Structure 1
Amino acid sequence: MDLMTKQLLMKLEQWIEQDKIVRFYQSKEWRKIRAVTLRMYGSRCQQCGKKATMVHHKEAVRKRPELALRLSNLEPECKVCHNKEHPEKLAKFHKKIFENEERW
């Protein structure tokens, strides 16, 4: 199953260029394929077997937008396992309070 049309791919490439990829995740096509993926795997994380609430792109959307809606590129993951796949997304929450050794 692949819901990617030429028009959607063009939009997605534009959103990636504009750093507005969140719009893709709000699309009806993403919501539909996400639900299909979770249902297909019984909402079980493919890494640890716990309840999955996330759907992970094996090939990143920014690198391979043409695969963004392809079932073979998607797998359900729990939040913990998904965060392990994307540590860069958590980096902003772990910033040092002080940028240098001198604090005052």
Structure 2
Amino acid sequence: MPVVKTRADRAKFYGSTQWRKLRKECLERDNFECQWCKADGRLTMQSDSILEIDHIKELEFYPELALDIDNLRTLCKDCHNFRHKRMNYRGNAKKKKWSDEWW
């Protein structure tokens, strides 16, 4: 079971040969398609977006599932960011702070 408590631990884990091989297997299994977009009737592939591998049960809380392919799914960058509540995802258009009127 990999240790992934710090940022350096995660960098080491995601740079490992074992992870890279498993990541490739997951992408192939999922036909290089975002699984959330696919479930929503959209097709998002490698040519459309950066594809990332998501741990369904998060790595931080379930390190024992870090290399379990059944705990992995392919998501596009937008869906992965949305899943982790990061700011730069498709569904969160930047709101204007000021109106178009300048007076």
TM-score w.r.t. the length of structure 2 is 0.69
Structure with the larger helix share: 1
1:8-23 aligned within 5 A: 9=1, 12-13=2-3, 15-16=4-5, 18-20=6-8, 21-23=10-12
The more displaced of 31-40 and 18-27 is 18-27
Query: CA deviation digits over 1:13-56, x for unaligned, max 9?
Result: 2x41x442111100011100000000011011110031151010
Gap runs ≥5 in structure 1: 1-8, 92-104
Name the counterpart of 1:70.
Answer: 68
**Inter-partner Cα distance in structure 2 for 1:27 and 1:86:** 23
How many residues are treated as equivalent by the alignment?
78
TM-score when normalising by structure 1: 0.68
Residues 1-104 of structure 1 mapped to structure 2, 5 A cutoff? 9=1, 12-13=2-3, 15-16=4-5, 18-20=6-8, 21-49=10-38, 50-51=44-45, 53-88=51-86, 90=87
Does the residue aligned with 1:87 lie in a helix, a strand or coil? Answer: coil
Structure 2 residue ranges without an equivalent (≥5): 39-43, 89-103
Identity %: 32
